[in-house]
Amino acid sequence: MQSVKDRNPNQPEFVQAVQEVAEDIYGWVEDRDDYHEAQILQRITEPDRITSFRVVWEDDDNDIRVQRGWRVQNNNAIGPYKGGLRFSPGVNESVLKFLAFEQTFKNSLTGLPMGGGKGGSDFDPHGKSDAEVMRFCQSFMTELYRHIGPQVDVPAGDIGVGPREIGYLFGQYKRITGRWEGVLTGKELSYGGSQMRPEATGFGAVYFLREMMKAEDEELEGKTAIISGSGNVALYAAQKLLDCDAKVLTLSDSDGTIEIKDGLNRDQLEWIQELKFERRGRISEAADEFDGIEYHDGKTPWSVEADVAMPCATQNEIDKDAAKELCGNDVRFVVEGATMPTTADAMELLRGEGVVLAPAKAANAGGVAVSGLEMSQNAERMSWERERLDSLLTDIMADIHHKCRTAGKGDDGSIDYRRGANIAGFEKVADAMLAYGVL
Ligand code: GLU
């Protein structure tokens, strides 16, 4: 860890992500002389390469704007680099390195042949016109296209990058290269996207929760859940929770939280999905529209009593104080829909209190798993039916759950899902690296 810290000064998110994996696998790798001799730990914590580039675009007032873009190609031992693009003002190299590192083990857990990568920009799509977003995406792809390809690196969406951005990015790739090929996932259905891809991360997280509950002899039906976020992960997790007859008590965005005391109903959810996906509005507008919804400005959901907490917004959103609130309210399950939403000290507290935690790299792997299936469909020039994809997603989440439980079983029979996810995700990548010799 000291050498990781020395090599990555001022990159706290990256160091945090590495520390979390290192803590969990350290005891397990101790006896693996083959890993030690091959310096696997040192190699796996160094990205294959990072490309950073200038993105210049013109806004609607004809002012020239300059942004920075990146692609972190972390590890391609088990397949082409794969992972989303994040457009948000908070994006920097540390954030993208931590996300690419996490992605590598998450993708490994899906069982599909995908390496790990991540990219993005400090561009903020909020408040920009469609034409501005298009010009930015075209400029971004004009540099990125030379670093990606269906057998090389296959980006997708993430925070700030949805179907609109993917459309502009894919169009520009096609225009520059003259090739229609499966170089991005998260595409719309009209041009090679996959059924179930929009829903996959949120649905997958709930499928994982359902498996965890089954293993504890519990049922999702009738349980209450607090969700943070109101993007694609949060809103499809909410939809699947309603399908399972659970109650959703909160949703949020970066301005505040809405609380729905009687539980969100289908009409409200559909209205909010339209608000967020089509109109790009703020979550507070839901409280103006519906009597049963209250808005708490500047608040997070973590003080509301519930059985399950699903952080589905962004990294480090549950800090120690939030974790104390969750424990004080006897929250039993925390399901990480976002990547690394729990700070290290919050995690320690939740673990100490015996809260069952579904770690991000397992719980939110459904999105990238269906992206992997989108790549397969593009490669065979076919599109599969929704039922088939939903059933594959259900099986993949059950398989990930099984891997985490098996690798995460302690000597006393207790289950640590985080440890299990880290060990199982790591092992496959490390074994592939060993097979290639010294490179
Ligand atoms: N951004 C999503 C993730 O973090 C999806 C990545 C993908 O589909 O490649 O897993």
Positive or negative torsion for Cα 93, 94, 96, 97: positive
CATH number where 144 lies: 3.40.50.10860
Rounded-to-integer distance, Cα 361 and Cα 357, Å? 12
Rounded-to-integer distance, Cα 368 and Cα 185, Å? 9
From the CA of 364, give the closest atom in ligand 1: 10
Q: Count of residues for the chain?
A: 439
Candidate list 82, 97, 106, 118, residue with the active-site label:
118
In angstroms, what is the span from residue 241 Cα to ligand 1's centroid? 21
In this structure, what token pair is assigned to residue 293? Answer: 């919804």
Q: Is 119 near ligand 1, meaning CB less than 6 Å away?
A: no
In this structure, what token pair is assigned to residue 172? Answer: 């520009």
Q: In this structure, are 221 and 96 located in the same domain? A: no
Q: In this structure, are 213 and 331 located in the same domain? A: yes
In a domain, 36, yes or no: no
Of the three residues 313, 331, 363, the one that is the final residue of a domain is 363
In a domain, 17, yes or no: no
Q: Terminal CA-to-CA distance of the chain, rounded, Å?
A: 22
Q: In this structure, are 148 and 231 located in the same domain? A: no
Query: β-pairing, 49-58 with 81-87?
Result: unpaired
Q: In this structure, are 175 and 203 located in the same domain? A: no
Q: In this structure, are 164 and 292 located in the same domain? A: no
In a domain, 289, yes or no: yes
Mutual orientation of helices 386-407 and 417-435 as an angle, nearest 10°? 100
Q: In this structure, are 260 and 174 located in the same domain? A: no
In angstroms, what is the span from residue 194 Cα to ligand 1's centroid? 14
Listed in sequence order, the residues at least 6 apart from 56 whose beta carbon sits closer than 8 Å to its beta carbon are 64, 65, 66, 67, 139
Residue-by-residue pLDDT tens, the chain, 439 positions: 899 999 999 999 999 999 999 999 988 998 899 999 999 999 999 999 999 999 999 999 999 999 999 999 999 999 999 999 999 999 999 999 999 999 999 999 999 999 999 999 999 999 999 999 999 999 999 999 999 999 999 999 999 999 999 999 999 999 999 999 999 999 999 999 999 999 999 999 999 999 999 999 999 999 999 999 999 999 999 999 999 999 999 999 999 999 999 999 999 999 999 999 999 999 999 999 999 999 999 999 999 999 999 999 999 999 999 999 999 999 999 999 999 999 999 999 999 999 999 999 999 999 999 999 999 999 999 999 999 999 999 999 999 999 999 999 999 999 999 999 999 999 999 999 999 999 9
In a domain, 5, yes or no: no
Rounded-to-integer distance, Cα 242 and Cα 202, Å? 12
- In sequence order, the β-bridge partners of residue 158 are 161
Residue 323, classed as helix, strand or coil, is: helix
Q: Is 158 near ligand 1, meaning CB less than 6 Å away?
A: yes
Q: Is 425 near ligand 1, meaning CB less than 6 Å away?
A: no
Q: In this structure, are 208 and 341 located in the same domain? A: yes
Of 292, 297, 228, whose CA–CA distance to 263 is shortest? 292
Q: In this structure, are 109 and 177 located in the same domain? A: yes
Positive or negative torsion for Cα 117, 313, 140, 383: positive
Q: Is 260 near ligand 1, meaning CB less than 6 Å away?
A: no
Positive or negative torsion for Cα 178, 113, 107, 368: positive
In a domain, 14, yes or no: no
Of the three residues 314, 346, 363, the one that is the final residue of a domain is 363
Of the three residues 363, 397, 419, the one that is the final residue of a domain is 363
State residue 372's pLDDT score.
98
Of 87, 173, 93, whose CA–CA distance to 128 is shortest? 87
Q: Is 11 near ligand 1, meaning CB less than 6 Å away?
A: no
Rounded-to-integer distance, Cα 219 and Cα 277, Å? 31
Q: Is 315 near ligand 1, meaning CB less than 6 Å away?
A: no
In a domain, 115, yes or no: yes
User: Ligand 1 pocket check: which of 81, 98, 103 to mutate, most ligand atoms within 8 Å of Cβ?
Assistant: 103
Match 């992605």 to its residue by tokens.
103
User: Ligand 1 pocket check: which of 87, 102, 109, 158 to mutate, most ligand atoms within 8 Å of Cβ?
Assistant: 158
In a domain, 96, yes or no: yes
Total structural domains in the chain? 2
Q: In this structure, are 247 and 358 located in the same domain? A: yes
Q: In this structure, are 86 and 137 located in the same domain? A: yes
Annotation marks residue 118 as catalytic = yes
Q: In this structure, are 173 and 214 located in the same domain? A: no
Rounded-to-integer distance, Cα 70 and Cα 104, Å? 17
Domain range for residue 283? 198-363
Rounded-to-integer distance, Cα 166 and Cα 288, Å? 32
Strands (E), 213-277: 224-228, 247-253, 256-260
In a domain, 202, yes or no: yes
Q: In this structure, are 160 and 204 located in the same domain? A: no
